[in-house]
Structure 1
C-alpha cells in the first residue's frame, strides 16, 4: 500500500504537541521543509533531538515550538553560535541535555536495538558527566576499567530527508551519511521526505544503498529542495550565503520574526519557498553531474 502523502498531512498526523522529534542528517540532507511545516502548524512543547542542531532548531525554538533540546555539538556550522537556542538556554527558558557525538549516536543505537542503554569507552569529556546525570560510569563486569553508559533514545517521530524513495518508503541516500538509519530504527514513527519518488525497480536495482526500509516508514512525502539551506548530494549545493545571513538575522527578535513571517508563515509549502528564492539562487546552487561507476550485481 502506498504511504505517499503530503508533508502537511504527515506533520499533522504524526507530530503531536509534546513529542520527542528527531530531525536527522549530518550537515547534509537536513529536513528543513519538515521543520518549517511544524512551525506553520504551531506544534508546541516539543523535545527537539539532533546530533547537530544547526539552523533548523534555531528557527523552531524562535517560533516557540520547543520546551527542550537534546544535542551533541550545537552551532551555526562554519559561522558561530546558534544565537536563539543559546539565549534561551542561558535564560533558563529551554531544558537541555548534552552529549558527545558518539554518545548521541550510541543512545540511538540502543533505542534501535531495543536495549535500555549501551556502554561506550571513557572519553575526555568528563565535564559532560558532571553536567548530565544521565551519563553514568559502571564497572566493567569482566574486570577492565569502568565504562560510560547512556540511556536509549526512542523518539516519538524521526524525520529523515533522502535523495529518492519509492511510494512504500524504501529509501536511497548517499553522500555524507549521518544518523539517519539509527534515528529511523529507534523511532516510534518515521516521516520520509524525498527529492524524488521513483519506481520500486530503481530501489531494487541498488539494494545496498537502501538505508531506510519500507517496513519502518509511516509516511513518504515528495518534497524537492526540502533540505535547503542544507544540501542534497547530487541535487543542489549548500547555501553558505544563507548560513552567513542567518547569523545577522538571528541578532534580533524583530529580524527573526520578519524572516519567519516571510519565509515560513508567508509561503504555503516548500514548492512556494523554492520559487520565492528565485532563479539567481537556483543557479548558484546548481551542481554538475558526477556519476559513480556502474556495479554489476549479476543475475541469479
Structure 2
C-alpha cells in the first residue's frame, strides 16, 4: 500500500496594500527607469509627486505622452533621460521645462530618445511578452531612423521587404493609476485603458495607485474589468483623487483649467519651481494636496452618475444542475 504525503501548504495570497510614501521608498531607486503610464486618462500624478518629494535622482522617464507629469519630474531634477513620443501638454500648450532642457540646455541638457506612439506600444508589448524585438510599420520612411539609432530595420522573412523593428521596454518600475483594486492587487480599470496592461507586465516592479480598495467579492463580480491581475502587481496604494489634473472615468473629469494654467506656469521657470514648492514639497501627501485645492475646484470636475448596464455572468447551480 502506497502512502501519499501531503505537499507543503500553499502560501496564503499576499496583501499588497502599502502607503504611497512607503511604496515609493521601497520600489523606486536613484538611477531607475520608471514608466508612469496612462494615456490622457489615469495619469499617476500623486506617485510622481511623491518621487519628487523623496528626491530621486538620475531617473530615466519612459512615457508615451510626456504631458505635465514629465515637465514636473524634470523641473524637479529627478530625470536625466526621457524616452517618449508625442511631446505635448495635453493639447493645452507646450511643455516648457522639456523645451528649455532640449533646446537651450537650461539649466542642463536632457537626453531624449524619440519614438512614435505605435513604436512605443510595440516596445511595451515586447517587454510584456519577453520578445527580443517586434516589427512595426510605424515610422517607416520617416527621418526617425536618423535621430534614433535604436530604431532598426530587418528583411521581412515572408518577402515583404524591409520592416522596422523596435526593442522591448523593461522598466525597473511601472507606475499606474486605476479606479479600484482588492488588497491582493487585482486591479480593475475602465474607460481609456491605453497601454497600461502591457506596461504592468513589462515592469520588473509595478506600483498601482487606486481611487479605492474594494473587497475581493467586488472584483470577482465583474472579472472582465480586471485588466491587471495580482501576479503582475508589486504594490497597490489607495490614493483617492491621485490622478488629478488628469481624469478618472466615473470619478472625476479632467481639470482642463489646470492644463491651461500650466502653460503660463511652466513658461516661467521661477514660477514653476515656486509651484513645486507650494504643491509638492509644501504638502505632506496627496490628501493635503486635495484639501489645498479646495472643494470649489473639485466641484468643477464633478461627474454625474452614468452606470453601465448590468451584465449577467451566470453561475453553475449549487445543486450541480440536477432537477
TM-score norm. by structure 1 comes to: 0.98
1:241 match = 257
* Residue 9 of structure 1 pairs with residue 22 of structure 2: yes
Q: Which has the larger radius of gyration?
A: 2
- Tell me which moved more, 83-92 or 277-286: 83-92
* Residue 18 of structure 1 pairs with residue 18 of structure 2: no
Q: Secondary structure at the match of 1:192?
A: strand
Distance in 2 separating the partners of 1:84 and 1:49: 16
Following superposition, the deviation at residue 122 of structure 1 comes to 5.0
Distance in 1 separating the partners of 2:236 and 2:91: 32
Kept after mapping to 1: 8 A contact 2:116/2:138: no
2:302 match = 286
Q: Secondary structure at the match of 1:84?
A: helix
Q: Is the alpha carbon distance of 1:251 and 1:125 closer, same or farther for their aligned partners in structure 2, counting shifts above 3 Å?
A: farther
Following superposition, the deviation at residue 293 of structure 1 comes to 0.3
Following superposition, the deviation at residue 123 of structure 1 comes to 3.6
Distance in 2 separating the partners of 1:84 and 1:110: 31
Unaligned runs of 5+ in 1: none
Kept after mapping to 2: 8 A contact 1:138/1:146: yes
1:163 match = 179
Kept after mapping to 2: 8 A contact 1:161/1:227: yes
CA RMSD of aligned residues (A): 0.9
2:53 match = 40
1:129 match = 145
- Matches for 1:257-272 after TM superposition, within 5 Å: 257-272=273-288
Distance in 2 separating the partners of 1:79 and 1:284: 18
1:187 match = 203
2:3 match = none
Distance in 2 separating the partners of 1:257 and 1:142: 54
* Residue 80 of structure 1 pairs with residue 96 of structure 2: no
- Tell me which moved more, 73-82 or 103-112: 73-82
Distance in 1 separating the partners of 2:213 and 2:138: 43
Kept after mapping to 2: 8 A contact 1:122/1:147: no
Following superposition, the deviation at residue 124 of structure 1 comes to 5.3
- Tell me which moved more, 135-144 or 46-55: 135-144
Q: Secondary structure at the match of 1:116?
A: coil
1:57 match = 70
* Number of residue pairs matched by the alignment: 300
Following superposition, the deviation at residue 125 of structure 1 comes to 5.7
Following superposition, the deviation at residue 137 of structure 1 comes to 1.1
Distance in 2 separating the partners of 1:272 and 1:122: 43
1:153 match = 169
Q: Secondary structure at the match of 1:119?
A: strand
CA displacement 1:151-177 (0-9 Å, x = unmatched) = 011000000100000011101100111
2:216 match = 200
Q: Secondary structure at the match of 1:250?
A: helix
Distance in 2 separating the partners of 1:241 and 1:80: 12
Following superposition, the deviation at residue 80 of structure 1 comes to 2.0
- Matches for 1:207-226 after TM superposition, within 5 Å: 207-226=223-242
Kept after mapping to 1: 8 A contact 2:119/2:138: no
